[in-house]
Amino acid sequence: MYLPVLTGILCGVLIFLIYASAAIRSGVYLKAICRLKTDEKVVALTFDDGPDGITTPKILDILSGYGIHALFFCTGHKMEGQERLLQRMVDEGHGLGNHTYAHSALFPFWRLARMKKDMQKCEERIQHFTRRRPFFRPPFGVTNPTVAKAAAQLGYHTMGWNVRSFDTVRKNYRNVAKRINKKLQPGNIILLHDTTPAMPELLNDIITYARQQGYRFVRADKYWGGTT
């Protein structure tokens, strides 16, 4: 009689712990900015995992054509050798965020000291191009008490998202665009990847639809900080 109840409780606890770690919006371990607090018809584009020498320049061309600024959460090791591209990103008004240096799937399991060293190594690369303290976004959005402690000790604001595109796993970019457009609402922070080959086409669809609905695009870190 008691075994099924105990099993149910343990399963519930396990599910909660998985949710708390895997869903950055849960805020259980780490309070992250996952939506802009506004009723204005504004949305923010964020890109993870770059810079990519092929796709990122195409994205920048599109954003420049529309006059839109975005926030790029850069992976430190991918910044090596991309100095001209990174300088272009900053010169054109985009933000650079800290997405760790290694972007390791094992990052949440590292010791605190190693975790902080990796985050600081990425920030050092970013500091070559901008003096603004970068926002932090953990790899895959996974959090736990150690990630939270590392972010707090380094003085980072953490940014998540409230619209996940799944652009890295879905092959048809039109279906990805439909999913994002269906969720369009004031204050959205949209997660995209500048490593996705079809991103230029996807980006055009997202921007076109949002503007048809009367929305404008803002840079998440600046809008959150009180400037646009």
Report pLDDT for 143: 95
Buried b or exposed e, range 151-180, using 16+ CB within 10 angstroms:
beeeebbbbbbbbbbebeeeeebeebbeeb
DSSP annotation of 74 reads E
Q: How confident is the model over 72-98, as a mean pLDDT?
A: 97
Q: Which CATH superfamily is domain 2-224 in?
A: Glycoside hydrolase/deacetylase (3.20.20.370)
Helix (H) or strand (E) holding 173: helix 173-182
In the block, residue with structure tokens 């870190």: 221
Instruction: Note the pLDDT tens digit of each residue in 173-196.
Output: 999 999 999 999 999 999 999 999
Report pLDDT for 6: 44
What's the whole-number average pLDDT of the chain?
90
Active site residue 48: yes
**CA pair distance 198, 93, nearest whole angstrom:** 23
Report pLDDT for 224: 85
**CA pair distance 137, 171, nearest whole angstrom:** 25
94: tokens are 């985009």
DSSP annotation of 40 reads S
Instruction: Note the pLDDT tens digit of each residue in 165-179.
Output: 999 988 899 999 999
Q: Which residue is catalytic, options 69, 99, 103, 193?
A: 193
Report pLDDT for 27: 81
Q: How confident is the model over 111-133, as a mean pLDDT?
A: 95
User: Is the pLDDT at 137 greater than 50, yes or no?
Assistant: yes
Instruction: Note the pLDDT tens digit of each residue in 14-68.
Output: 454 454 556 798 888 999 999 999 999 999 999 999 999 999 999 999 999 999 9
**CA pair distance 34, 108, nearest whole angstrom:** 20
Half-sphere exposure of 118 (CA within 13 A, CB side): 26
Encoded amino acid at 95, one letter:
G
Report pLDDT for 171: 80
Q: Which residue is catalytic, options 48, 52, 118, 194?
A: 48
Give the range among 69-73, 130-134, 138-142 with minimum mean pLDDT.
Answer: 130-134
Greater confidence, 81 or 23?
81
Domain residue extents for the chain: 2-224
